[in-house]
Amino acid sequence: MPAELRWNRLTIAAASEEEFLQAVFDYFPQLLQLPYEYVEVDITGTAEISEDAFRSIAIKLIGGEAAEKKMLIRIPPSVDRYFRHANLYRMVDIDVVTPVQANGKADPAAIKASIKAGRFEKKAGAKAKPAVDLTEKAPEIAPEPSEITPEAQPQKAQRPPEKATKAEVGYLVDVESGSRHQIKEKLVIGREAPSDLVFQIPTISKRHFHINRQGGGFVIEDLRSTNGTYLNGLPVHEPVPLRDGDEIVVAITLKHPKGARVFQFTTKSD
């Protein structure tokens, strides 16, 4: 059998993409119905799959079918790039597992694939566990500091306070429409009121991010959004000072790989 559902774990060891897809459609809904708050999916026994086959799981996760569960997915290095490109590291725990040969050493081919995917540097066979980010849909428990390796910590937007642009008033420019929104003290962006600026786009959270006036300048902060806030290409995990020309992108998903909305921050009045 290419798949086995036992206790809170679904293990898929399919020999072909057809078997993999069938196992996902047959067993994944059953896994989500189990009376466990924390469930696991193990696809390390499956041969390399294409991005289209990977979407069979990704769409279920992004679509919210697993919203009520905390989930760990064990994957082979060959599919790590799909999970990273889809931004799923923000939504579930992901454990990249390197196969071990009979002699107890890591498979060189697997390590090479892992290095190519940007997962390993010096520690062959190390399991990388990313720092957990809390979201509206998938709240998670952060790992102990000893469990977080340097390779596992994603880059995040950082900037010394002195680099922030000083101004009494700031502006958030919607790149798509060209509209400008003045910021005096605080501006909240989200999908629903009471957000100050509302975009009725499903991938944008009810309260997605806000910009506050602070220390003579302005600071951006993600509000535990489901699909993330990015400042100049880096995820915002803590308050970050803003400066003229900064690009802000929200809700990067499979449906919106370049973001559901793009903004620019400026302190210039026109």
C-alpha–C-alpha distance, residues 61 and 67, integer Å: 8
- Tell me which residue has tokens 């600026």: 197
Are 37 and 139 in contact, with CB atoms under 8 Å apart? Answer: no
- State the Cα–Cα distance between residues 78 and 20, nearest whole angstrom: 15
Confidence of residue 80 (pLDDT cuts 50, 70, 90): confident
What integer pLDDT is reported at residue 1 of this predicted model? 59
pLDDT higher than 60, residue 128 = no
Please check the confidence at residue 46 and state whether its pLDDT lies above 60.
yes
Q: How far apart are CA 212 and CA 189, in angstroms?
A: 12
Predicted local confidence at residue 57, as pLDDT:
79
pLDDT at residue 187, rounded to an integer:
97
Per-residue pLDDT at 89: 75
Better-predicted residue by pLDDT, 75 or 100? 75
Structure confidence at residue 21 (pLDDT): 86
Residue 270 and residue 264: Cα distance in Å, rounded? 13
The closest of 107, 79, 104 to 20, measured between CA atoms, is 79
* pLDDT tens figures, 242-253: 999 999 999 887
CB 2 within 8 A of CB 13: yes
| Cα separation, 268 vs 270, whole angstroms | 6
Question: Of 164 and 265, which is predicted with more confidence?
Answer: 265
Lowest mean pLDDT among 61-70, 84-93, 226-235: 61-70
Task: List the single range of 31-40, 63-72, 78-87, 165-174 with lowest mean pLDDT.
Answer: 63-72
Q: Across all residues in the chain, what is the average pLDDT?
A: 77
